[in-house]
């Protein structure tokens, strides 16, 4: 099936977004967009494979678009969306694409992406990686299951586990980003693998497949869903544990 | 004997050990045994409603949410993994 007429949005041009974007462009997806507003830092380079030393200090999207356009074939479009995903732009942003991939470094963005894609009817591939561990899974537009079936809501005072010393290994995000692209290509080619969470454990080199169950009381995709709009308040960080929402040392 | 694999953020409670062997017939028993060996662990894993939302407990390859939760029965030699939700990349 031709991917030339297909489009993908990647939220976060970091350790997951870089390899995912590269794979989607090389696979021939006709339109690939990246959304981010960060600059390249020296500490990004070991895992954010679209950037090199000369890019330090530049906008990530300038460097990423250049790197991807060098690989693109005639007719392929690489687009830069110079913004984070926010409650007031999320629906409009995701609506324009056939599949969305989020490799965000914070839970607020992950929940926002989940909600926006569900409300806009777009399939979403989630990716996350910290240290030796990564999780990747694809969610159908209708959910059942969705990210909120698994984690319900933003951590509010209970996120100590993610406050810990962090960091992330290049090979682990490389694998996870490639797997995100693979799941996105399955969606675009009409053979999606929704609802299976792939958990990679880098120390044991083990990939675990976990079937995620739809939660009957899910506020996003359950029978009595209560989320029907994106309200700023729902994605506000926790006051007393703000660091939990942006895992220390890990930038997008 | 049940082997519990401990993620990095919780190894401060295990003296740095990445796995702890305990006894227990159910997941709940194991967490109680774990608490005795590593005080503070229970509070990191459970709240008053059960397993904390941002923690996944796996028995072998299965998330206990999709088994019998804390009452999931265990046989000797089983491995339990504690997997916190992650954001990063």
Nearest-CB residue to A128 (from B10, B66, B86) = B86
**In this complex, how many residue pairs, one in chain A and one in chain B, have their CB atoms less than 8 Å apart?**
98
Q: Tell me, what DSSP letter sits at residue A233?
A: G
- Each residue's pLDDT tens digit, A104-125: 988 889 999 999 999 999 999 9
Contact B86 A162 (CB under 8 A): yes
Among residues A173, A14, A154, A9, the alpha carbon closest in space to that of A85 is found at A9
- Chain-centroid distance, C-alpha A122: 13
* Tokens, residue B20: 């702890």
Query: Is position A250 within any domain?
Result: no
In chain B, residues with a C-beta closer than 8 Å to the C-beta of A111 are none
**Cβ distance A78 to A32 under 8 Å?**
yes
**Residue A6 pLDDT > 80, yes or no?**
yes
ipTM of the complex: 0.71
**Cα separation of B37 and B60, whole Å?**
22
What mean pLDDT is predicted for residues A127-150? Answer: 93
Q: How many alpha carbons fall within 13 Å on the CB side of residue A126?
A: 37
Among residues A45, A74, A43, A79, the alpha carbon closest in space to that of A61 is found at A79
Q: Answer positive or negative: Cα dihedral of A243, A226, A192, A4.
A: negative
Residue A80's CATH number: 3.40.50.720
Mean pLDDT of chain A: 88
Query: Is position A233 within any domain?
Result: yes
Contact B8 A164 (CB under 8 A): yes
Contact B89 A135 (CB under 8 A): no
In chain A, residues with a C-beta closer than 8 Å to the C-beta of B58 are 208, 210
Among residues A110, A191, A100, A187, the alpha carbon closest in space to that of A150 is found at A110
- For residue A18, give its domain range: 7-245
Query: Is position A2 within any domain?
Result: no
Residues 190-229 of A with CB under 8 A from B: 199, 208-213
Per-residue pLDDT, A157: 53
Per-residue pLDDT, B60: 87
Query: Is position A90 within any domain?
Result: yes
What mean pLDDT is predicted for residues A78-85? Answer: 95
Nearest-CB residue to A128 (from B53, B61, B87) = B87
Nearest-CB residue to B55 (from A128, A152, A161) = A161
Residues 1-30 of A with CB under 8 A from B: 12, 14-17
Query: Is position A1 within any domain?
Result: no
**Cα separation of A50 and A209, whole Å?**
29
Query: Which residue on chain B is closest to A151 by alpha carbon?
Result: B53
Q: Into how many domains does chain A fold?
A: 1
**Residue A161 pLDDT > 60, yes or no?**
no
Contact A158 B52 (CB under 8 A): yes
Could you tell me the domains of chain B? Answer: 2-84 (3.10.20.30)
Per-residue pLDDT, A236: 67
Query: What pTM does this model have?
Result: 0.86
Mutate to test the interface with B, among A14, A34, A129, A130 (most CBs of B within 10 A): A130
Sequence-ordered alpha helix ranges (H) in A97-242? 107-120, 147-151, 170-188
- Phi first, then psi: give them for residue A9, nearest 5 degrees: -110, 130
DSSP, collapsed to helix, strand or coil, labels residue A131 as strand
Task: Identify the top-confidence range among A63-77, A162-176, B72-86.
Answer: A63-77
- Each residue's pLDDT tens digit, B39-83: 999 998 998 888 888 888 989 878 898 889 999 999 999 999 888
Give A1's pLDDT tier (boundaries 50, 70, 90): low
């Amino acid at each position: 099936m031709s991917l030339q007429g297909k489009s993908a949005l990647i939220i976060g041009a970091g350790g997951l977004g870089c390899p995912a974007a590269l794979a989607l462009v090389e696979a021939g997806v006709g339109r690939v967009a990246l959304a981010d507003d960060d600059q390249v830092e020296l500490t990004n380079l070991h895992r954010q494979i679209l950037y090199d030393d000369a890019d330090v200090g530049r906008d990530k999207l300038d460097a990423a678009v250049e790197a991807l356009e060098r690989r693109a074939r005639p007719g392929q479009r690489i687009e830069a969306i110079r913004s984070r995903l926010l409650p007031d732009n999320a629906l409009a942003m995701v609506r324009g694409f056939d599949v969305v991939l989020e490799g965000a470094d914070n839970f607020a963005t992950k929940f926002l992406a989940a909600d926006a894609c569900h409300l806009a009817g777009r399939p979403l591939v989630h990716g996350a990686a910290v240290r030796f561990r990564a999780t990747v899974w694809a969610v159908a537009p209708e959910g059942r299951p969705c990210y909120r079936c698994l984690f319900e809501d933003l951590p509010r005072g209970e996120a100590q586990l993610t406050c810990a010393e962090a960091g992330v290994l290049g090979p682990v995000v490389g694998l996870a980003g490639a797997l995100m692209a693979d799941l996105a290509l399955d969606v675009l080619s009409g053979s999606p693998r929704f609802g299976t969470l792939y958990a990679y454990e880098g120390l044991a080199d083990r990939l675990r497949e976990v079937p995620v169950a739809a939660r009957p009381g899910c506020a996003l995709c359950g029978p009595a869903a209560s989320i029907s709009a994106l309200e700023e308040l729902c994605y506000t960080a926790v006051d007393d544990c703000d660091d939990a929402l942006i895992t220390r040392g890990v930038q997008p | 004997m049940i082997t519990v694999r401990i993620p990095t953020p919780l190894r401060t409670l295990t003296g740095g050990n990445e796995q702890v062997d305990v006894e227990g017939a159910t997941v709940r028993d194991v967490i109680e045994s774990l608490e005795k060996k590593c005080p503070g662990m229970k509070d990191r894993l459970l709240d008053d409603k059960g397993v904390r939302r941002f923690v996944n407990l796996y028995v072998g390859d299965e998330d206990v949410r999709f088994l019998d939760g804390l009452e999931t029965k265990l046989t000797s030699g089983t491995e339990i993994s504690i997997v916190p939700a992650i954001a990063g990349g």
